[in-house]
Amino acid sequence: MKKFVEIRSYNLKSGTREEFHRLVLEESRPMLKRWKVDVVAFGPSPHDDNSYYLIRAYQSLADRQASQDTFYGSDEWRKGPREAIVSLIENDTSIVFEMEETVVNALRKKA
């Protein structure tokens, strides 16, 4: 079975990655879990001090769109950690591609 995998790369404002990671661990990740978003892996990128990544998996492109519309449109996100998290991001980009589920599972970080 194939999944649609999204890799989101964040370029963070200088000196904010530790705070960004704390917010992901304490606010965003638990919220994504509650919303049943399949977070495969996340964390600071080892290639520089201002990069961070988030990998999510979806059943289809329509599932991805619906999941993100629902999550990012929710009061829990908009009135919760959104501003604190977004204020630390310089810019971000996403790529989406199909991947066998066994490969997705091999990428998983236990968190």
| Per-residue model confidence as pLDDT tens digits over 20-75 | 999 999 999 999 999 999 999 999 999 999 999 999 999 999 999 999 999 999 99
SS3 106: helix
Q: Of 91, 102, 31, which Cα lies nearest the Cα of 67?
A: 31
CA distances from 107 to 14, 63, 77 (A): 28, 20, 26
> At residue 110, does pLDDT exceed 70?
no
Domain extents for the chain? 2-107
20 close to 10: Cβ distance less than 8 angstroms:
yes
Which pTM was predicted?
0.93
Strand partners, 41: 55
pLDDT of residue 109: 77
Q: Give the class (CATH, top level) of 2-107.
A: alpha beta
